[in-house]
Structures are given as C-alpha cells and as structure tokens.
Amino acid sequence: MSLQEKLPFDPMKDFAPVTLVPTQNLMLLVHPSVPAPSVKELVRLAKAQPGKLTFASAGNGTGSHLSGELFKMLAGVDMLHLPYKGIAPALVDVVSGQASMTFPGILSSLPQVRAGKLRGLAVTGAKRSAAVPELPTMQEAGVKGYEPATCYGIVAPAATPQDIVMKLNAEIVAIVRQPDTNARLSREGADPVGSSPQEFGRFIQSEIEKWRRVVRAAGIQPSRTP
C-alpha cells in the first residue's frame, strides 16, 4: 500500500486472512574487502565514513531495498542505495566489489557465501536460520527492532464464510507442521509458521504499518498505477 499511489484492492478489507505459512530470512552480506567482520564493526565503519558504503538491491521498493533502508534507520548510518533490475545483477556487483553489501534472500545468495565470494554477517529475521545457524540475527548483533523477512501466506476472498476459512486454516496448518514439510522448508532457508487467521491478520496490519514508516522516512515515492 505504501509503494503504490492507488491499488485496485484493499489488502485489509478485500481479503480474509487464512494463515501465514513460512517466513524466510534475508542475509546481510558484504564483499570480503569490506573491513568489517561483524555487524557492529560494519556500523562503526559506516558511521566513520558516511555515504561511502553502498548497498545493492533488486530495485526501488523491493525487499532488499527496504531492508537496507530499515538498517540505515535503526543503526543510524548513511549509506548509498544502488538499485538493480533484480537480485541477480545486484549480487554480481557485490561479488565483483562494485557495491559494498546487499540484503538478499538466503536461497539466492548462499552459494556465494559457501564459496567465500561474499561474507555473511547476520540474518534478518526474529530467529536464526537452520540454513546458516552460525550467523546471528541482526538483533543479536546489536540492531534492535530489526526483523525483515520474506513472508508467504494464504488469503481468501473477504466474503468467504468463516467456517470455510477455519477449515482451510486447519488443513494448511496441519500440512505445515508435518515433519517432512518442516524439513523441506528448513532446507530452503524458510521457517514454518502456521498461524491462526487472527494472528495472520494482525501480522499483515503490523507489516503494512512498519513498511509505511520506512517508505516515508526514506522518501521513497509511491508508484503510479495505470
């Protein structure tokens, strides 16, 4: 809602939340030449050299962009945003040293980390990821209140009867909590959730409000829809 001037729907009024399925951490990755072995050292470096460090994103308004802007806000640092047309070219330029850092999803960037081409400093979610358990969360690393993650949920049309919503919720949550489903999601860097419709509705509202504040603070202009 914060990135579009007008939408043909209202995400809170036109849909009935069913369940949040999994969330997936992003990672804070830096080029090996950046002299910061930890988030704390990166913040210190950025404060000593305001505007010098750059962060690459998949484009204006994307998760990797907003994650970088939130980091700037909460850590109190000044960094230059470099928008790309997708996370792949952004990763290429961080690997080559053209950009200092990026905030990609775990799956898209883990091969570069394992190969030593990028250095992982932290994951962005509320808890550590099973895919990279050695990396702390950003909050553990000292950036309080920092919890961006890619989220996948199920919604139904707003007019869906409540008993149907609850049946869908029960079936999907049961699948999410099966051991083989948990294992598959964990291998892909995702954290299974399986929330109630009420919990998911509150989550959607809180995410809208959180990212609206980030968009406004960063001065990102909403896109105009045709």
- State phi, psi for 43 to the nearest 5 degrees: -65, -45
pLDDT at 4 > cutoff 90: no
Task: Return d(Cα 17, Cα 89) in angstroms, integer.
Answer: 34
Count of structural domains within the chain: 2
Q: Are 78 and 51 in contact (CB under 8 A)?
A: yes
Name the pTM for this structure.
0.87
Residues 116 and 49 in one domain: yes
Helix (H, G, I), strand (E, B) or coil at 193: coil
What is the share, in percent, of the chain residues with pLDDT greater than 70? 96
What is the share, in percent, of the chain residues with pLDDT greater than 90? 74
Q: Is the dihedral of CA 200, 206, 208, 214 positive or negative?
A: negative
Task: Return d(Cα 123, Cα 149) in angstroms, integer.
Answer: 9
Q: Are 5 and 225 in contact (CB under 8 A)?
A: yes
> Of 80, 107, 123, which marks where a domain is finished?
123
Best mean pLDDT range from 42-46, 104-108, 145-149:
42-46
Q: What residues are paired with 123 via a beta bridge?
A: 27, 137
Using pLDDT thresholds of 50, 70 and 90, give the confidence band for residue 108.
confident
Helix (H, G, I), strand (E, B) or coil at 13: coil
Task: Return d(Cα 226, Cα 220) in angstroms, integer.
Answer: 19
* Containing structural domain, residue 187: 15-22+148-218
pLDDT given for residue 2 in this prediction: 58
- Mean pLDDT, range 136-150, rounded to an integer: 94
Helix (H, G, I), strand (E, B) or coil at 16: strand
pLDDT at 188 > cutoff 90: no
Residues 36 and 100 in one domain: yes
- Mean pLDDT, range 154-180, rounded to an integer: 97
Query: Is the residue at 9 inside a domain?
Result: no
pLDDT at 218 > cutoff 90: no
Query: Is the residue at 134 inside a domain?
Result: no
pLDDT at 131 > cutoff 90: no
Query: Is the residue at 41 inside a domain?
Result: yes
Using pLDDT thresholds of 50, 70 and 90, give the confidence band for residue 168.
very high
- Determine the Cα angle at 210 with ends 132 and 185, to 5°: 30
pLDDT given for residue 226 in this prediction: 41
pLDDT given for residue 225 in this prediction: 43
> Of 88, 123, 158, which marks where a domain is finished?
123
Query: Is the residue at 198 inside a domain?
Result: yes
pLDDT given for residue 112 in this prediction: 93
CATH of the domain at 86: 3.40.190.10
With residue 96 as reference, give the H or E element that holds it.
none
Q: Are 59 and 85 in contact (CB under 8 A)?
A: yes
